Amino acid sequence: MRSQLDALSPSSSPQHHWFRLLFRWQGSVVPAVLPRTLLCAGFGLLISLLYRWGLPVSLQSLSSIVPSIVLGLLLVFRTNTAYERFWEGRKLWGGLVNTSRNLARQMWVAVHEHEARDHQEKIQQLRLLVAFARATKQQLRSTPLVTTEMATLVTAPQLAKLQTMHHPPLEIAFWLADYLQGCFNQGRLNAYQLSAMLAQVDIMVDVLGGCERIVKTPIPLAYAIHLKQLLLLYCLALPFQMVGALQDWTALAVGLISFTVFGIEAIGIEIENPFGCDPNDLPLEAICQTMQRNIEDLITLTPDNCHWREDATPSGSTALPLA
């Protein structure tokens, strides 16, 4: 009942949400572009004052210095390139979630358990899938592993080993592959199952490589520098072109146009590296939490390969579900 009332309240209406988002400061590019916008508006105010004092500062010919269509194409290319990187990162992490679900299900169902310790070992290996995601997150952000996050996913010796490694996700992928190979050697997996599961581990490593490619391949420096130079020239030339027609309104018009073009560039800068901690970056922590919930839910299910449970069940009694 309460949710229905909330849905009917004005605060949940699309129009209210639109205006609330319009004036939102956090996550917008306003803090980044405001100093440059005020600088250009102040320069426009100076030019309007010079024009009022009778100085010949109205120069319409300056419009040919940086043609608007050229600047527009450069900005569109810059923003599209940044969004492609952002969307590619989202697709890669979506693939990591799906691959972890598939591999976890295959391991939980296909790997036979002959002893109770086999069951606990398999649970530990499933949690390594979440550890791989969290280690990948920290690797992409070039930050050390968060001990509190990893302590519930790996053993103490494994955590100590990961803290000494230059590339923890690869170490975790090695542990997963080594576990699967060991299960095959013990007769707990057949060759087809082993091949399918190792292919899933390979996909996880491919996702890691794809994310690292995004992080380590920035927008070409020459392009970024030249775009900034053209933006500044364009905004500083605006007052000379507009003062003859707008006069005292020149500063306001220059400020609005500068805010627009600087904002478009800032959006590209904001989203070109989607793996950071900024409000506009991918919610990697939420994705990792989703993966962990999926794994923990899977662990509560009872697979049909627990032979040690059957051996431990007395004749005529019923086996209890696994915790």
Count of domains forming the chain: 1
In a domain, 169, yes or no: yes
In a domain, 231, yes or no: no
Q: Whose structure tokens read 């190792």?
A: 198
Domain range spanning residue 191?
Answer: 99-216+287-302
> Model-level pTM?
0.84
pLDDT confidence of residue 1: 40
Q: Is 113 helix (H, G, I), strand (E, B) or coil?
A: strand
In a domain, 226, yes or no: no
- Long-range pairs for 202-205 at CB < 8 Å and ≥24 separation? 203/95, 203/99, 204/96, 204/99, 204/100, 204/103, 204/132, 204/173, 205/169, 205/170, 205/173
In a domain, 194, yes or no: yes
Residue-by-residue pLDDT tens, the chain, 323 positions: 444 434 434 445 666 687 787 778 788 888 889 999 999 999 999 999 998 898 888 888 777 777 888 888 899 999 999 999 999 999 999 999 999 999 999 999 999 988 888 889 999 999 999 999 999 999 999 999 888 889 999 999 999 999 999 999 999 999 999 999 999 999 999 999 999 999 999 999 999 999 999 999 988 999 999 999 999 999 999 999 888 888 889 999 999 999 999 999 999 999 999 999 988 999 999 999 999 999 999 999 887 766 555 554 444 444 434 43
Q: What are phi and psi of 306, to 5 degrees?
A: -90, 75
Q: Is 306 helix (H, G, I), strand (E, B) or coil?
A: strand
In a domain, 165, yes or no: yes
In a domain, 68, yes or no: no
In a domain, 298, yes or no: yes
The DSSP secondary-structure symbol of 282 reads -
In a domain, 317, yes or no: no
DSSP one-letter string for 178-229? HHHHHHHHTTSS-HHHHHHHHHHHHHHHHHHHHHHHHHHSPPPHHHHHHHHH
pLDDT confidence of residue 246: 86
